[in-house]
Structure 1
């Protein structure tokens, strides 16, 4: 399960049935990407999709199934859990509050959440956004992950999640080193709620979803029921070997409360692309704050955006996985070229992991 933490930053066949695939007609780009997409499904995931936009053209390709039971085909517009891509959305809300003068990047946790965490006087909003707070990641606790699997409908409060991290002890001194931790964004969600007097879900909807017209996007921290959506599957793992889909568990109806502000977003490929285009194009924040979000040339992470090295240069964006779904949103620094990809099985086998990364590289680098 440690791989789930790594997949937040790096890239990172249905039994008895040939993978079905459809592409938007008349697009040679789609035809060129179809083999790479099919390879992800053939490596052992139910389905996969990819969207590519570059300002002048738009292409979507999908392959395989959204749900194994009943053989429901995957469609390009289907909704799925976006996992840690949620963090970029939450970072935008925090930085909008900074722009409005309601928060400062140098505010301490002790000021905004008095008595909430030990050493809160030394941890700042900037450090939480950049994952340099020194706080441990509760998701790295194997015992905690076993609890979420054994009690999938249990509701976890944000305070419980932070307490889990505290019991693990610090990873270092605040501001000292980068250590990715969902704990940081759970705390940022609590800060937003304390400053605004409303929920993080309401802030996301009023500040981002509604203004950008993201009709397929919502904040869903509890079990997701009703409507059409991509089901996420968790294969068994024995001695590091990922099992087949025949024994995989459907986790799509489990609670995502344990991810909360760090990962409970539900979205579509189209909505995620629109969001990153708007963000990097300056529609959500002034240029100085967008620049802070982008990782510096020598860094892997900025204030809510990660960097990814590709064969054709650096991409910025975020990746994530949650409840059997893996997703990635990559963009050029100016937001003009964007790629969103998703596959609905996790952990990925070595072959599937390689195939998904190749799909992303092929989609991002194709001109």
Structure 2
């Protein structure tokens, strides 16, 4: 695999004369040893103090530095925002978690082994519906900047056979959140983007988070460029400007690491959901034998220093983000500017999150 030559990592805002801390060392290793173009992070401690970090270069063509706390595409972290809106509507009595999809979208979800009368809203949010995923069918459309309507995404998924009977087991599928987004729009009569903006982004003051409008392929604020490795031997490609509509309710948002820290902290502190709905959100099923659990749009992961943190993570062409927050007010998010081809690299990225949370 051919990769561009990278500049030395930028200095961290948290570095001292004694040398970089564990988070900075972890970011530097992701760039120097794993070949990622850039890495950036935000860590918030129990007292609300935030440290930001960068490593690598923000633009391989110019060698420009990584913008501190730059905007990035956050991919599947969007699912948590969609789940929050859904659960707010549950708290308002407008959606029932154990009602069928057909209650809100009659006759829409049908296919081979697929029947919306048998799939509940809870199963959508927890990925236990059995709905097949469409993600592998739309990757090139993103890079070609082709807009895809949510109904088109659902139609792609429904060409496939159900993965399993509803409730039989857990399996991740972006289709679940497309359907959840359609339910939100049906119940409220408003676009999903407006509901997320009003109910989440403005409510807790996320100043750098937004849902791109149809056809908007840009990133508004200072940001590192995103890259993609194609098959072995091909040069790295810049893929910053894409049409993220294929993510929609499952992956369209743009944000920063510090805004994600703020979002997950506010969520766990009860500022977005009533206690009953937050408890439902945090009721998990196992994700294989990983030690992690999937709730209603949120993931619990064990920490090396004891306890767990709650977050999600997201991949979208050009960016991979991992992180979350703890019940006692710590938060950390890390983003790299290419999706690693090797899962071991993602594991090292998650280790940087652990370092940030266990030392904050």
Taking structure 1 as the reference length, the TM-score comes to 0.87
Say yes or no: does 1:54 pair with 2:45. Answer: yes
**Cα distance in 2, alignment partners of residues 283 and 364 from structure 1:** 21
Q: Where does residue 6 of structure 1 map in the other structure?
A: none
Deviation readout 1:296-327 (Å, 9 max, x if unpaired): 38562011111223322322210111012000
**Cα distance in 1, alignment partners of residues 309 and 282 from structure 2:** 10
Which of these residues, 242, 257, 270, is aligned with residue 254 of structure 1?
A: 242
Deviation at 1:16, TM superposition (A): 5.5
Which of these residues, 122, 125, 128, is aligned with residue 118 of structure 2?
A: 122
Unaligned residue ranges in structure 1 (runs of 5+): 1-12
Name the SS for the 2:324 alignment partner. strand
Say yes or no: does 1:35 pair with 2:25. Answer: yes
Name the CA shift for 1:175/1:28 in 2 (closer, same or farther; >3 Å): farther
- Counterparts of 1:321-336 in structure 2, within 5 Å, are 321-332=315-326, 334=327, 336=329
Name the CA shift for 1:38/1:14 in 2 (closer, same or farther; >3 Å): farther
Deviation readout 1:180-234 (Å, 9 max, x if unpaired): 1000001111111111111110001111111111110001264432542232111
Q: Where does residue 204 of structure 2 map in the other structure?
A: 212
Deviation readout 1:210-266 (Å, 9 max, x if unpaired): 11111100012644325422321111234xxxx68xx11111111111111100010
Say yes or no: does 1:194 pair with 2:154. Answer: no
**Cα distance in 1, alignment partners of residues 84 and 316 from structure 2:** 21
Q: Where does residue 290 of structure 2 map in the other structure?
A: none
Say yes or no: does 1:365 pair with 2:349. Answer: no
Q: Where does residue 336 of structure 2 map in the other structure?
A: 343
Q: Where does residue 19 of structure 1 map in the other structure?
A: 9
Deviation at 1:330, TM superposition (A): 1.8
Moved more, 249-258 or 342-351: 342-351
Say yes or no: does 1:353 pair with 2:349. Answer: no
Deviation readout 1:137-180 (Å, 9 max, x if unpaired): 111x4xx145426x621111111111111111101111111111
**Cα distance in 2, alignment partners of residues 200 and 222 from structure 1:** 16
Q: Where does residue 154 of structure 2 map in the other structure?
A: 162
- Counterparts of 1:59-208 in structure 2, within 5 Å, are 59-118=51-110, 119-139=115-135, 141=136, 144-145=137-138, 147-148=140-141, 152-208=144-200
Deviation at 1:290, TM superposition (A): 1.0
**Cα distance in 2, alignment partners of residues 215 and 229 from structure 1:** 15
**Cα distance in 2, alignment partners of residues 278 and 335 from structure 1:** 11
CA contact (8 A) 1:109 1:121 kept: yes
Name the SS for the 1:73 alignment partner. coil
CA contact (8 A) 2:6 2:60 kept: no
Q: Where does residue 36 of structure 2 map in the other structure?
A: 45
Unaligned residue ranges in structure 2 (runs of 5+): 288-292
**Cα distance in 1, alignment partners of residues 305 and 51 from structure 2:** 19
**Cα distance in 2, alignment partners of residues 298 and 279 from structure 1:** 21
RMSD of Structure 2 on Structure 1 (CA):
2.2
**Cα distance in 1, alignment partners of residues 242 and 109 from structure 2:** 28
Name the SS for the 1:214 alignment partner. coil
- Counterparts of 1:232-251 in structure 2, within 5 Å, are 232-238=226-232, 247-251=235-239
**Cα distance in 2, alignment partners of residues 260 and 267 from structure 1:** 15
Q: Where does residue 288 of structure 1 map in the other structure?
A: 276
Deviation at 1:87, TM superposition (A): 0.3
Name the CA shift for 1:52/1:214 in 2 (closer, same or farther; >3 Å): same
Deviation at 1:354, TM superposition (A): 4.4
